[in-house]
Structure 1
Amino acid sequence: MINDIKAEASERMEKTLEALGHNFNKIRTGRAHPSLLDGLRLDYYGADTPLNQVANINVEDARTLTVSAWDKSMVPAIEKAILKSDLGLNPATAGEVIRIPMPMLTEETRKGYIRQARQEAEAARVSVRNARRDAMAMLKDLQKEKEIGEDDERRGQDDVQKVTDGFIARIEKMLEEKEADLMEI
């Protein structure tokens, strides 16, 4: 019973870390990475479709992405979607291939991205703490219903706290790596 609660809390915390990693991938660094365009959606014959479902996204070199549309008539729509995005990218179309050069990050934009990364990390910490709070509440309820003793409740709370501390440390490590990546010139 206690192990189930701990496992459920751990699973929720793991999902939080996955979401944080996904959010960190959306924060642009100086290097080209296909995941930068993951959140981009465009109108594909009346359906709101992710870019990676209508085109191949590749890294040409360290500072350039290439987008090759499967349907050649979609090239202008893809270019327009990239321009409209809040990523600050300027695509250059050469026939059927769209090249997206990554502009150099200024000190000001780097600090802005670090601030955004810190906000994402704080949101992840809050989510982990919410999972801990819910697990602690379940343990208290079990103890109130006399399904477990006080000692078991205390032991369970200590275990949940240890799991929480581990996940918070992983969030800090991810944030540290992202900040180092952003400050790299």
Structure 2
Amino acid sequence: MLEGLVVIEPSVFKDNRGCFFESYNAKSFLKQGIKSSFVQDNISISSYGVIRGLHYQEGEHAQAKLVQVLKGRVLDVVVDLRPWSKSYGEVFSIELSETNRLQLYIPRGFAHGFSVLSEEVLFHYKCDNYYNKESESGIVYTDPELNIDWGIPKDKEIISDKDLALPFLEHAEKAILQKSSQ
């Protein structure tokens, strides 16, 4: 596990009506070292084969995220972009699903993306900072240095033109290192 990431497995209470679990509780998250105050919630609905990412916000608009799947299944992927981190440039991936109900806390300084492994997914994430279009950036999902297996056959991948145009990590690194030295 990369430094700063936290996988959260909520307590799930089941009975004949279904189930109940807390998806967020500030006190219990604080006990796990998560101090973020979330200010924005986002929901993404996607179909099988969609790959979103790898995205991040730069500078003062960087965002920590708490992500979870409400319906379906994804391969969630993060890349550590913090120049001072021991795990800088390393990749972590985990399957998140409506069945395992796992959540992933992603601190500021990580690029994030996911691939949809089920017919449809309803993906929820909380952010600790507001989205700022001028600060958005990313790394192309096919970067050979990262060598990510997204779990989707090439002929089934659905990628936005915007994500296909993202730079490789080596180009993003130069911008990140330049901005961190300013």
TM-score bin, normalised by smaller chain? under 0.3
Question: Highest relative contact order (Cα 8 Å, sep 6+), 1 or 2?
Answer: 2
Structure number with the higher helix fraction is: 1
Structure showing greater radius of gyration is 1
TM-score (norm 2): 0.20
TM-score (norm 1): 0.20
